[in-house]
Amino acid sequence: MILFELFLSFLQVGLFSVGGGYASIPIIESQAVNIKGWLSASEFADLVTIAEMTPGPIAVNAATFVGIRIAGIPGALVATLGCILPSLVILTVLWFLYKKYRKLDLFRGILSSLRPVIVALIAATALSMILRVIFPDGSMSFTSLDYAGVLLFSAALFVMKKFRFSPVPVMFACGFLYLAWGLIAGKGL
């Protein structure tokens, strides 16, 4: 039964994640954290980090991670299949439609109308991740502010914008610095 639930949950993720990996993160969070309760909010934040650092699409990496966590290798296979199946079917159908109707203005209008939705989903994901870094316990009060997280976020943003560094080494550096800060401050691993 859990395999079927994994398949259906990630089928929904694959079906409604228009716009790619970052647009899928709120949908994965809704399924894995809010609806099914397979992961906690902090585990989900770790999942997003791991999915971004692992080669491949974020949604597929996340599906594989959740699947293996919940039901082992069969869970990983079923969740991944559920995540990619809608794309395979939809892209095949769209390819035939595009080949036949690519000159029509209506078809071009439909494709261009999806852009604002994609931007909104990516912005919602970015805001959600920033709030998790700044307020790790979710209370959004100055007493729960994670100063090390705010400092690292600001420094990473500055370094990537000013010096055009790749996000991967910046993520590794921030992870190492945050770990070192936790050990020095006595928070442990």
Model confidence over 14-58: pLDDT tens digits? 988 876 677 788 899 999 999 999 999 889 988 888 888 888 888
Model confidence over 152-182: pLDDT tens digits? 989 999 999 999 988 889 989 998 998 888 8
CB 80 within 8 A of CB 90: no
pLDDT at 112: 83
Model confidence over 67-121: pLDDT tens digits? 999 999 999 999 999 999 998 998 899 888 888 887 888 877 887 888 888 888 8
* Residue 77 in tokens: 């296979």
Strands (E), 57-177: none
Alpha carbon distance 174, 156 (integer Å): 7
Asked if the model's pLDDT at residue 139 lies above 90, the reply is no
* Residue 181 in tokens: 């800060």
Q: Could you identify the residue written with the tokens 């299949």? A: 81
The verdict on pTM exceeding 0.75 is no
pLDDT at 189: 55
Asked if the model's pLDDT at residue 186 lies above 80, the reply is no
CA nearest neighbour of 62 among 52, 74, 70: 52
39: left (phi over 0), alpha (psi -120 to 50) or beta: beta
Crossing angle of helices 21-29/115-134, nearest 10°? 60
CA nearest neighbour of 52 among 67, 65, 34, 41: 65
Three-state DSSP at 177 gives: helix
Q: Is 73 exposed, middle or buried (0-12, 13-18, 19+ CB in 10 A)?
A: exposed
Asked if the model's pLDDT at residue 188 lies above 70, the reply is no
